Amino acid sequence: MTPAARWAAAAGVLDQIAEGEPAEKALTTWARKSRYAGSKDRAAIRDHVYDILRNWRSTAALGGGELGRARVLGRLRQTGDDPDTVFTGEGYALEPLSDEERVAGRSPRGAEALDLPDWLFDLFVTDLSEKASETAEALRHRASVFLRTNLLKADRDTAQSALQVEGVETAPHALSKTALEVLEGARRVSQTEAFRTGLVELQDVASQAVVDALPLSKGMRCLDFCAGGGGKTLALAARLHGTVEAHDTDPRRMSDLPERAERAGASVTTIAKPRGTYDLVLCDAPCSGSGSWRRAPEGKWRLTPERLAELTNIQAGILDQVAAFVGPNGTLAYATCSVLACENEDQINGFLARHSGWACKEQSRFGLAEGGDGFFVATLTRS
């Protein structure tokens, strides 16, 4: 495919997303119907789509419309590329710009310039104060790719050297002693021997830092209550050098976890229902995902005040439920990949108000300015 044809394909996918189709499904559907497209074509189209999703409002303003065609025009203006090299009408390219399109568009203003819905922009300002604009701006750009060194199989230097041999350049990151930031060859990671043999796992650096912040020691009985795909479960098992029990209300989310654990050499047991008490219970609670909107940008356009209220109720319910699983000298750890206070500090304060005899031992925020996603973690103990 020509570069112009790739942009045309992206415009069509964006129209499907605007009509309510999830981004991944829209991209997969397009790929299945376009067998002529190679892997580089699919990767370029995906990049175009996600770059525009991160800048959904600003590209519409700059392009003078809500259709994929207008958003492509807005993105080209945003990056300083010549639209006439894309809107050529040749082959499978988008038709040339009309006179009306050439004069349409304007500079984005206020919340649309930071690519947030108005109501979320107000919430960012309230919750993040002087860091609101900085955080919103960071969410408009691609996230770095990070790997976690699996300490069950290698140290960080060994993993880095193994990746380098296969053309993946990395650098250690200060936020976690296990983290490697991928500088070159990110799309080759899953094909490397280092990945296939479990020396490294894909995991954001702030997510790794959350596990680093937990009080772990060998011999502990540990439960990951909201395990999902199991990224933190595997990191816990690597630090413990012992077994971690993994639970999720939707067991299908853990379907890949046994295979991942086997590759990592980690001891993980998936369970339908926790039994007894634990020394550590981790609740990586369902949340808005606002700290990871660089990776899943449609989340900020799908989120509503009603859905956010529903999520905070779910989070409070989970905290209340898991308190019973924490042993007398145990720790309850609560984490989200959210930058919003209602999902973080407010949840801890609410739990302490509902449950006497508990205290917050420590809480931390990891901001996007530190390199990774936005995360929050708090550890609670019985006082």
Q: State the catalytic residues.
A: 337
Q: Which of 108, 66, 115, 135 is nearest to 301 (CA)?
A: 115
Residue 78 phi, psi dihedral angles, 5° rounding: -65, -40
Tokens coding 175:
């936020």
Tokens coding 7:
């942009």
What CA–CA distance (Å, rounded) separates 140 from 155? 34
Longest distance between any two alpha carbons in the chain, whole Å: 73
Residue 375 phi, psi dihedral angles, 5° rounding: -130, 155
Q: Which of 152, 153, 331, 335 is nearest to 232 (CA)?
A: 335
Beta bridge partners of 179: 148
On the 0-12 / 13-18 / 19+ scale of CB atoms within 10 A, 265 is middle
What CA–CA distance (Å, rounded) separates 224 from 205? 19
The count of other CB atoms within 10 Å of the CB of residue 76 is 20
Asked whether 356 and 320 are in contact (CB, 8 A), the reply is no
Distance of CA 242 to the CA centre of its chain: 27
Q: Which amino acid is at 276?
A: G
Asked whether 380 and 358 are in contact (CB, 8 A), the reply is yes
What CA–CA distance (Å, rounded) separates 304 from 231? 27
DSSP output for 257-316: HHHHHHHHT--EEE-SS--S-EEEEEEE-----GGGTTTSTTHHHH--HHHHHHHHHHHH
